[in-house]
Amino acid sequence: MQASTPHWAHVLITGASSGIGRALALAVAGPGVTLHIGGRDATRLAATAADCAAAGATVRPQAADVRDAAAMAGWIANCGRLDLVIANAGISAGTGGETEPPAQARAIFETNVTGVLNTALPAIAAMAAQEPGPDGLRGRVAVIASIAAFVAVPWSPAYCASKAAVQGWAEALDATERRRGIRLHAVCPGYIRTPMTARNSFPMPLLMEPETAARRTLASIAAGRTRIAYPWPLYAVARLVGALPPGLRAALFTMTPAKGRLPGVG
Ligand SMILES: NC(=O)c1ccc[n+]([C@@H]2O[C@H](COP(=O)([O-])OP(=O)(O)OC[C@H]3O[C@@H](n4cnc5c(N)ncnc54)[C@H](OP(=O)(O)O)[C@@H]3O)[C@@H](O)[C@H]2O)c1
């Protein structure tokens, strides 16, 4: 664990088998930390677990599909104390320049919205029943949204809408849950170098390494920020473009390349 990484003793992260989730797991891993990590790919999840254990953490990997509400509730209820839960698992796809296939839109919402609820709701219920920790909080839930939450890109309708949904949900809920000692954080990263963005054939301004994103995310959670959006120049552009009239925004985006569709869908 890096000296600057904030310390939470009991942490759960979904989608820890790859990318940002794996980087978050490695950043919190250390002696005295119990780390519950989820993902569907058992081999990649085991690799993250081994690396986190080598850093001194007690690791409890769980093959968990975030779309399965009952399985997620059962897993989270059996974890014991949870100081920090990060609902990170997500999928991303664009239209390829055409209309988004209905099956793709449903798949994105099921993972990025329902999957986040399937993680955050049982976590909040478990935290409400536990005593406050040394920081005076019962627990923190961070939702990995995206800077895409702030711009309805015509080439990524379901992805942008799914991220807007969880960003808005986490921020609104933070206002009421903090009254009973539970904080929510909406994490909105720009482009991060992971397998998700490796498929992008277009330029990705201010592309960031997952380790940098993880450190930044954890430091901002520890600082108590409700909205964690970075890098700021990309966030500023997203807010500006997002504020344009929809017709003008759509016309602008016809001049930009589209992300590809989900493989095997539509
Ligand atoms: N990369 C970026 O530029 C960027 C920017 C902003 C926000 N984000 C968000 O950050 C999160 C992580 O993305 P990433 O870039 O790290 O992508 P990634 O490398 O593709 O990792 C995605 C993770 O989500 C897991 N996952 C996907 N569907 C799942 C399901 N149904 N159940 C359980 N786990 C599932 C995957 O696990 P398995 O493969 O084991 O199922 C994997 O561990 C996503 O929510 C993404 O939208 C990414």
Catalytic residues: 159
21 CA to centre of ligand 1 in angstroms: 7
- How much is the average pLDDT of 5-15? 91
91 CA to centre of ligand 1 in angstroms: 5
- What are the boundaries of each domain within the chain? 10-253
In this structure, is the dihedral angle defined by the CA atoms of residues 74, 78, 83 and 84, taken in order, positive or negative?
negative
Per-residue pLDDT, 264 = 78
pLDDT, the chain, mean: 95
**CATH T-level topology, domain 10-253:** Rossmann fold (3.40.50)
19 CA to centre of ligand 1 in angstroms: 7
If pLDDT is split at 50, 70 and 90, which confidence band does 1 have? Answer: very low
CB atoms within 10 A of CB 141: 26
Q: How far is CA 54 from CA 25, 100, 253, in A?
A: 12, 43, 46
Per-residue pLDDT, 263 = 85
Pocket residue to mutate for ligand 1, from 92, 153, 163, 188, most atoms within 8 A of Cβ: 92
Determine what percent of the chain is predicted with pLDDT higher than 90.
90
- How much is the average pLDDT of 177-198? 98
pLDDT at 45 exceeding the cut of 60: yes
Q: How far apart are the first and last CA of the chain?
A: 43
Q: What is the pLDDT of residues 105-126, one digit of tens each?
A: 999 999 999 999 999 999 999 9
- Would you state the structure tokens that stand for residue 243, as one six-digit string? 């504020």
pLDDT at 3 exceeding the cut of 70: no
Which residues does a 6 A CB cutoff place in the pocket of ligand 1? Answer: 14-15, 17-21, 38-41, 44, 64-67, 88-92, 111, 115, 144, 146, 189, 191-192, 194-197
188 CA to centre of ligand 1 in angstroms: 13
If pLDDT is split at 50, 70 and 90, which confidence band does 266 have? Answer: low
